[in-house]
Homo-oligomer: A and B are copies of this chain.
């Protein structure tokens, strides 16, 4: 039963080492190269994706009362795929029924199966890339990386943390208590991992795999059965995941229903699942409003959320004005601002900043960033590859609503050459913090504010307070004074925000690397959990003991 564990042991050990040292490491190559994934992998992946269109998605043996599915690619075409759907009650009952077999499997058996699922998902990264691209609107390269290897790394990270915690307490020990001159009391003790029960994973539209894999694999590795509830607009990536998991489980002699898909659309089934007394763990990615509902209604279930927030950049000074503007431009443009890590507010001193190009006024800075976005997106093919498409029609509407909120420094426009796709480049507005609080509301999508403030310190304080009140996942700072950098690091840490300082090259505030960057701190309203730390896995199981006097 542990052949899979042995097969993937080196991967696990490397992951544990990387998570401990937190240097760069990745198990799954992020380059969509034929030399790595096979010369025909790209074509095969596309063909596999296209073969699924317009058909019923096959999940052998999955509970099904009806079929559902109405996914439409943000690039235009309807996917036409239908999925088996069952009621919340049916799914929970099937999940719970599969529970005892999975709970009885050893941590090594479960870990081995999780690692095999991840390895198979990695092998089909090109098919997944197409599935993610046409449900989220991500450009192909990003869909490959974020939907494939990066998501798999995040899954592996969760498995590694889960394995470490499950094995922290030994399976057995001898307890010998001295009794003075009398014979000692000697007990044999045995411990085992006891899972909590049925786990629910609620996925989001924009990163269906990246944001779901940590909870899915953490719960699965620790012995819980898992019901995966995808966003109705992004079912396919998680259906593919569930299909692979069910296949590996069945091959290893376990009930496939250890992993189930809750494909039915609408909030009702999600709410029924969250409230169900048998659901003992809930992982949620989505809005603050529904996140608050989940936290309030999940009862005694362990609840792990990534919600939303307002991410900020504070510009105090820079030694590389061009590099700074280019870096910020990329962060604003990437996936058209639809990353939970994308900045929204750029705080700039009203009186301007010192730079390597001399003093720049507030307007100079705003214009510099706008020009950098223009330069970045001049070539339509490059623009399409960076911006991708807009996942949700409401995001386009939000741009129009935002336009009157400030002075337009750069207007949003469709991406050229993507006919039929729903696209939008960044809208950049200039406002003054003394005159408006329009920038303090989360405006998801390609909407950014350059906000005039008293000075950099005022900007840091406003950004940090915004994080404390509305949540924030990332913050960035441009500053040349070391004391000011350290003070900002203190302030953002107190606000529970991870901070990037003086990024000018090929690394962006949006990026969060598995095994090194914890994603979300759990310490502000942007989420109550962190991907992936010990707290994310340790509460997903319990330890039970039995003991008896050791036979002489």
List the interface of chain A (C-beta within 8 A of B): 20-24, 100, 103-104, 165, 168-170, 173-179, 185, 187, 189-192, 194, 196, 295, 300, 485, 489-490, 492-494, 496-507, 513, 516-518, 521-523, 528, 530, 533-535, 538-539, 542-549
When distances are taken between beta carbons in the complex, the residues of chain B under 8 Å from A517 are 189, 545, 547
Tell me whether B549 and A530 are in contact (CB under 8 A): no
Q: Is the CB of A22 within 8 A of B175?
A: yes
A65 shortest CB reach to chain B, Å: 30
Closest 9 CB pairs of A and B: A501-B548, A535-B538, A493-B544, A523-B542, A499-B546, A489-B546, A534-B538, A22-B173, A535-B539
Verify B548–A500 contact, CB threshold 8 A: yes
Q: Nearest CB to that of A190 among chain B residues?
A: B489
**Please, how many angstroms separate the alpha-carbon atoms of A300 and B307 in the complex?**
14
Chain B nearest CB, measured from A484 CB (Å): 13
Residues in B with CB closer than 8 Å to A177 are 24, 507, 513
CB distance from A31 to the nearest CB of B (A): 9
- Since A192-B493, A530-B542, A539-B539 are in contact, a sample of 10 more A-B pairs with Cβ atoms closer than 8 Å, ordered by chain A residue number, is A23-B174, A24-B175, A175-B516, A194-B494, A300-B528, A493-B546, A496-B544, A517-B545, A518-B543, A535-B538
Contact of A521 among B190, B498, B542 (CB under 8 A): B542
Pair A523/B169 contact, Cβ less than 8 Å: no
So how many copies of this chain end up in the complex? 2
Shortest CB-to-CB span from A193 to chain B, Å, is 9
One of B22, B501, B544 near A498 (C-beta < 8 A): B544
A194 touches B500 (CB 8 A): no
Q: Name which residue of chain B comes closest to A187, CB basis.
A: B507
- List the B side residues contacting A544 at CB < 8 Å: 492-493, 496-499, 521, 523
A549 adjacent to B502 (CB under 8 Å): yes
B194 touches A513 (CB 8 A): no
- Determine the residue in chain B with the shortest Cβ distance to A475: B546
CB-contact partner of A499 in B175, B489, B547, under 8 A: B547
User: How many angstroms from the CA of A62 to the CA of B185 in the assembled complex?
Assistant: 45
* With A170-B22, A179-B506: A546-B500 Cβ-Cβ less than 8 Å: yes
* Pair B496/A194 contact, Cβ less than 8 Å: yes
Distance A189 CA – B511 CA, assembled complex (angstroms): 14
A497 to B543, CA, bound (A): 9
Which among B23, B168, B530 is the interface contact of A176 at CB below 8 angstroms?
B23
Other-chain contact of A534, B23, B168, B545 (Cβ < 8 Å): B168
Task: Give the chain B neighbours of A538 by CB distance below 8 A.
Answer: 533-535, 538-539
Please give, as numbers and ranges, the residues of chain B lying within 8 Å of A501 by CB-CB distance.
546-548
Q: Which residues of B contact A543 (CB under 8 A)?
A: 518, 521, 530, 533
